[in-house]
Chains A and B, each alone.
Chain A
């Protein structure tokens, strides 16, 4: 059987749903209904948030009734110093953490992928265990450790914990990317006189660029979205966006229009990635 027909057959065999007893028209309608429901389910909360952020303060409590819309909320939020500072800080931290983590996890993942033996095995188990340890178990004491290192409430004090956690999360993924690259090119380079580092840097790394891009996107968003580290390891000096938002919920609990506007601003990178970086994200979602 040729490859083409086998693929078609495969799609065919699985394209029967649960409702094969129904008439084809009813089946298609049911399917369309399910697909629509899924779309609605996953977008409605975001849609509702955007809608709330566009409502004036007077109309926010009856979002579903009014027809008045305004962008004043965004003006007001963006004129608050703390929000601007938090936006800037979150951006700097995410970018710096991505650069640092990528460098560190690329080498660690390469090592896991290319070598066998007690050292890679130990390293892998170590990473696995630290990936499982709940954050609170080491972020709580990190509050004191960073104070002793005099990096509490600074960029460094938040950056390094992020890098440490990214190592545990992304070394696996990086290993997967390198597993997918044939090492024979590296061997060829080494036979031609390239050092091990040269083979890694000049041959393996350029081939891994798609994987690295995927990882960079995930890493950046992950840091941008992170909450617990920022909550414990920062204070007034280095406000972080997620923490500022969560404080809004508890402090100005009634100003939902302002809060929604802040959340929508914080959501922009996620929307951009969903629309334009989808391919990369899906590639990075391996386990």
Chain B
């Protein structure tokens, strides 16, 4: 081993130990638990093979509600936050009085804990006393019991997530916009291209690498959303808004079947890691291009 290799290994050694003990060991423990009857009534934790996986993969709750919810949430949240974030980035890329103030306020949700955001939004959408229903009544509409119906509850959760993450898209896309070379814009202006065409044929294609990276990272993170769903609806009404993380948690700690919860967690992890690996090459190439 050369001196250089030893230096490299020494640099990552503490990080590697932390990852080994607190990620790899638990993941293996979880994988082990997923093949066992890990419940309160079975102190021996009998090996049951793939029974937990079969159960989860046949569970209509998991297939019919949890998976569609998780992927629907992921797609809707990323799409809304991307579009809104891009609009705000384009706005902040112009010079106008008060720009600094707008940027500061836009940054705020990024710093707020998801749990706090969830509490705020839950309160605003409270059936009887929430400000949203008060406003609806003021406008002459009937109040809506937001959190007792599947789709409205889902909408509230989605709204919270978009509120939390739009600023992230906006600030990263703004940085992307500011680093674009000026020449194509000059050429477009000389050719008298309109604002829309400039945006559609120059800004958007040049910004694409940054957008793809944002979308990939955010999609992977949206897949594991837990806090806001847990605080806003707790997966309810009647488990109708459960996403994958909530399902694994509820199976493990409310139904106290850690074997089944672990199996669900492993399935989710496999889905997202395969997804992430497929995107890895694309990501790598785009990051290279954008630098």
Contact = CB atoms under 8 A, between A and B. Distances in A.
Contacts of A221: 111
A110 B15 CA distance: 12
B120 to A, nearest CB: 4
Contacts of A263: 116, 119-120
Interface in B81-133: 88, 91, 93-96, 98, 101-117, 119-124, 126, 128-129, 131
A35 B96 CA distance: 10
A145 B226 contact: no
Contacts, number: 300
Interface string A32-75: 00110011011101101100100000001111100000000000
Contacts of B266: 137
B272 interface: yes
Interface in A115-137: 115, 119-120, 123, 125-126, 128-137
Nearest to B213: A287
A123 B5 CA distance: 13
B217 A287 contact: yes
A263 B119 CA distance: 8
A9 B182 contact: yes
A35 B189 CA distance: 26
A184 interface: no
Interface string A2-30: 00001101111111111010000000000
B62 interface: no
A249 B104 CA distance: 29
Which label, helix, strand, loop or mixed, suits the secondary structure of the B interface? helix
A237 B245 CA distance: 25
Interface in A82-113: 103-105, 107-108, 110-111
B39 interface: no
A18 B210 CA distance: 22
A266 B116 contact: yes
Interface in B173-231: 175, 177, 182-183, 185-186, 188-189, 194-196, 198-199, 203, 210, 213-214, 217, 220, 223-224, 226-227, 230-231
B22 A163 contact: yes
Contacts of A49: 116, 119-120, 123
A164 B18 contact: yes
B52 interface: no
A281 B119 contact: no
Interface range on chain B (Cβ under 8 Å from partner): 35 or more
Interface string B268-283: 1100110011001000
B244 to A, nearest CB: 7
Interface in A156-210: 160-161, 163-165, 167-168, 171, 196-197, 200
A10 B19 CA distance: 46
| Most interface-central of A15, A49, A110, A134 (chain B CB within 10 A) | A134
Which label, helix, strand, loop or mixed, suits the secondary structure of the A interface? helix
Contact of A17 (B195, B261, B265): B195
A134 B272 contact: yes
Interface in B115-170: 115-117, 119-124, 126, 128-129, 131, 134, 163, 166-168
Interface string B226-249: 110011001000000000110011
B105 A43 contact: yes
Contacts of B112: 46, 225, 267, 270
A120 B265 contact: no
Contacts of A7: 182
Interface of B: 3-5, 7-9, 11-12, 14-16, 18-19, 21-23, 25-27, 29-30, 33, 88, 91, 93-96, 98, 101-117, 119-124, 126, 128-129, 131, 134, 163, 166-168, 171-172, 175, 177, 182-183, 185-186, 188-189, 194-196, 198-199, 203, 210, 213-214, 217, 220, 223-224, 226-227, 230-231, 234, 244-245, 248-249, 252-253, 258, 261-262, 265-266, 268-269, 272-273, 276-277, 280
Given A13-B182, A125-B280, A160-B18, 20 more contacts: A13-B186, A16-B195, A17-B195, A20-B194, A39-B106, A42-B106, A42-B167, A45-B120, A104-B18, A123-B12, A123-B16, A136-B268, A139-B26, A144-B29, A145-B25, A168-B23, A227-B115, A228-B245, A231-B230, A263-B119
15 contacts: A16-B195, A35-B91, A35-B96, A46-B108, A103-B14, A119-B9, A120-B8, A134-B244, A134-B269, A141-B29, A171-B15, A196-B7, A226-B113, A266-B113, A286-B172
